[in-house]
Chain A
Amino acid sequence: QLHLQESRPGLVKPGDSLSLICTVTGGAISGSNYYWGWIRQPPGRGLEWIGSISYSGSTLYNPSLNSRATISVDTSQNQFALNLLPVTAADTAMYFCVRDLAHHDVLTGQLQSGWFDPWGQGTLVTVSS
């Protein structure tokens, strides 16, 4: 069974970089035609998609992040990562890693969008001095 687990960075200072790693077990990132993504949820609020990456490194991002987010993949470690720079208090949130069911159609090669399943348990990141 596929399982995703986020790293726990905890407290980050304003202006610094937020770095998170998602470790995938129960299946290989490189063996999947799907994407892998990050979603965040500020305390008491709704969900915001940050971006997603394929096993080959193709990325898609939410424009609302104003190019502050970078997602990378390490298939040898079966991990993918999020880097957000610079952070402000508004980036305080629970961060979830997910499998994004986006994939390339096997016949046409066209990228098809998808939904999110499964989700990691989430890790709380607080931005404060």
Chain B
Amino acid sequence: EIVMTQSPATLSVSPGERATLSCRASQSVSSNLAWYQQKPGQAPRLLIYGASTRATGIPVRFSGSGSGTEFTLTISSLQSEDLAVYYCQQYNIWPPYTFGQGTKLEIK
């Protein structure tokens, strides 16, 4: 099973600033990585798949990069509505699909 590790556990960023979230895989997952946003009390929502492709309707301030074992989700200019927990998920070697433990993004 591939273990996904996200850092930091909590990130506090001011509105308008850049937020950078990291995800590391225990072995290469190529570009088979997705990112999800889970706002309080809601279901997760797909943000990024294929490591860097934005899902339909996702604002351009969200971008993904990386391949192999190191990945990054960047929010270029943080908005107050971006308060959420963000999860990465690998789908390269399965079953099982595996998720990271999440990064909680707080607004300063």
Contacts and interface: CB of A to CB of B under 8 A. Distances in A.
Interface string A77-115: 000000000000000000010000110000000000111
Contact of A113 (B42, B44, B94): B94
A43 interface: no
B43 A49 contact: no
Contact of A116 (B1, B32, B34): B34
A64 B43 contact: no
Interface string B92-103: 101111111110
Interface residues of A, number: 23
Given A47-B44, A96-B43, A122-B43, A62 B96 contact: yes
A64 to B, nearest CB: 7
A16 B95 CA distance: 26
Nearest to A45: B101
A101 to B, nearest CB: 8
B96 A64 contact: yes
A47 B99 contact: yes
Given A47-B87, A96-B43, A122-B43, A117 B99 contact: no
B89 interface: yes
Interface in A27-70: 46-49, 51, 60-64
Nearest to B44: A119
A56 B49 CA distance: 26
A121 interface: yes
Nearest to B55: A117
Contacts of B94: 60, 113
> Chain A CB within 10 Å — which of B1, B32, B96, B98 has the most?
B96
B62 interface: no
A62 B97 CA distance: 8
Nearest to B6: A46
Interface of B: 1, 32, 34, 36, 42-46, 49, 55, 87, 89, 91-92, 94-102
Interface of A: 46-49, 51, 60-64, 96, 101-102, 113-122
Given A46-B99, A114-B91, 4 more contacts: A48-B99, A115-B34, A116-B34, A117-B46
12 contacts: A46-B87, A47-B44, A48-B99, A96-B43, A113-B92, A113-B97, A115-B34, A115-B46, A115-B89, A117-B46, A117-B55, A121-B42
